[in-house]
Amino acid sequence: MAKNKLIALLLLALGVSGFINLTLLKRQVILEQKLADAKANNAGTARLVALPNGTSEDANTLLSASEPQRNTGHNEQPTSQHKHPVTTDDSLYSDNQQVNLMIAKAQQFFNSYRFSQAVDLYASINDLQPQTAEQLKHNWLAECQTMIEQNRLNIASDFIDAMLHLQPFEYHSSLLQLTLWQKQGRDLQVLQRLIDLELNEFDAERKQALSSHIDRVYHHWSARVIDRQNWRLLIEQTERLLAQRGLQIDYIVNLVNGYLQLDDAHTALSYLQQIEYLADAQTQYQQLQQRIEQRLRGNEGIPLIADRDHLLVDTTINNALSTRLMIDTGASLTVISERTYAQLTRHTEIPAHREMMIRTASGEVEAFSIIVEQFAIGPWQVRDLEVVVMPLTNMTKTDGLLGMNFLRQFVFNIDQQQDLLFLQAK
């Protein structure tokens, strides 16, 4: 009986001793921290030592595809809002005195921004008590999130770099890094880092969240690049994404548009063929295919017929009547003869649009205009074109004049040496 009482008294003494040791340890940490803060105040350096509650595990709360406020973090100033009283997370401590000492020391290193030493101790704690280490990391990530919100970006960056040096693809640290980079305006690095994380993530839910973020960030980034008309940058980065992530309709559309803007229709066509049979891309495919065909034909040039000092070109009106007109860049409107108008209205009536007087070398001539639904030269066409109808008795080899109201719809060039007309969409 006496022996049992002795054992009970010994256990009680050990418990009291452990509690006293832990209390003294906490007090030592608080005292050391106060001394460190006082020293930092004298040196003009701010300390952030509080441990706010939890961080979000949802990538959607830590990343935003919208463009954030940009701040490089180089002008961090010590202010009172960065000061917090030291708090201690009692749930981190246990009856393992060795681990308790490591936790206290790791927290002390963190509070004094000695992040490499803090992370080294975290790794040792993780070997002994993984759950405790996870909670410690959870607290530090919350601290880091607060630093970013306060624009203390250099300090936050140092901590994130230390964590990722230990665990290069750790999910939550990586998300904080992306938040930081977005705030600094490092869009391309954000995009590339997201892709690296997606490739190295095995959790299906997280992988899907990362994929959605990549799509959103790319959409906003490419819209800004297109707005600045930086086609080479758009092509370079999009080709890299295509190689890393595989076929994406948005990537192909941007590549086709980019190469068309650089007058490389053949490369644009080679990319467009990759989505030819995708059901979701048929509308975009057909529109881009038409643009490429027009560009390719335009690059080949439309043959002209030389007639002394004049150049003639074959045209089509309303997909029915073929005509041959003389190019006249001095004429504001396109003109056809009364005979051509009679042929055009043989089966379909086209009412007069307006009456006018046309000044010619022989004096003024009465005329009127019509609106033709379609007027084309090769693959290039204009809809609802105003055409003047007037007598052209002196013109025997042509049916009228091709005026600027057609030509100015395009970027055009007349090669008089090779008798070719080049048209391009504006």
* DSSP per-residue codes, 278-345: -GGGHHHHHHHHHHHHHHHHHHH-EE-EEETTEEEEEEEETTTEEEEEEE-TT-SSEEEEHHHHHHHT
Q: What is the mean pLDDT of residues 173-197?
A: 89
pLDDT at 90: 66
Last residue of a domain, one of 248, 281, 300: 300
Asked if residue 144 and residue 248 are part of one domain, the reply reads: no
- On whether residue 90 sits in a domain, the answer given is yes
pLDDT of 74 strictly over 50: no
Asked if residue 143 and residue 280 are part of one domain, the reply reads: no
- On whether residue 334 sits in a domain, the answer given is yes
Across-strand partners of 388?
Answer: 335, 369
Q: How confident is the model over 377-406, as pLDDT tens digits?
A: 988 899 999 999 999 988 888 999 999 999
7 by Cβ neighbours in 10 Å (0-12 / 13-18 / 19+) ranks as exposed
- On whether residue 200 sits in a domain, the answer given is yes
Across-strand partners of 313?
Answer: 325
Q: Which residue has the higher pLDDT, 34 or 320?
A: 320
pLDDT of 67 strictly over 50: no
pLDDT of 50 strictly over 70: no
pLDDT at 326: 96
Last residue of a domain, one of 237, 271, 300: 300
Range of the domain at 79: 25-211
Q: Which residue has the higher pLDDT, 304 or 426?
A: 304
Domain with residue 283: its CATH number is: 1.25.40
Task: Report CA dihedral (341, 344, 345, 346) to the nearest 10 degrees.
Answer: 120
Q: How far is CA 46 from CA 33, 77, 84, 250, in A?
A: 13, 8, 10, 46
Q: How confident is the model over 127-178, as pLDDT tens digits?
A: 999 999 999 999 999 999 999 999 999 999 999 999 999 999 988 999 999 9
Q: How confident is the model over 313-354, as pLDDT tens digits?
A: 999 999 889 999 999 999 999 999 999 999 999 988 999 999
The listed range with the strongest mean pLDDT (12-16, 69-73, 268-272, 355-359) is 268-272
- On whether residue 30 sits in a domain, the answer given is yes
pLDDT at 60: 40
Mean pLDDT over all residues of the chain?
Answer: 81
- On whether residue 112 sits in a domain, the answer given is yes
Asked if residue 177 and residue 34 are part of one domain, the reply reads: yes
Asked if residue 283 and residue 240 are part of one domain, the reply reads: yes
Percent of the chain with pLDDT over 70: 78
pLDDT of 275 strictly over 60: yes
pTM for this prediction: 0.51
Structural domain total, the chain: 3
Q: What is the mean pLDDT of residues 61-65?
A: 39
Asked if residue 202 and residue 83 are part of one domain, the reply reads: yes
Asked if residue 283 and residue 196 are part of one domain, the reply reads: no
- On whether residue 2 sits in a domain, the answer given is no
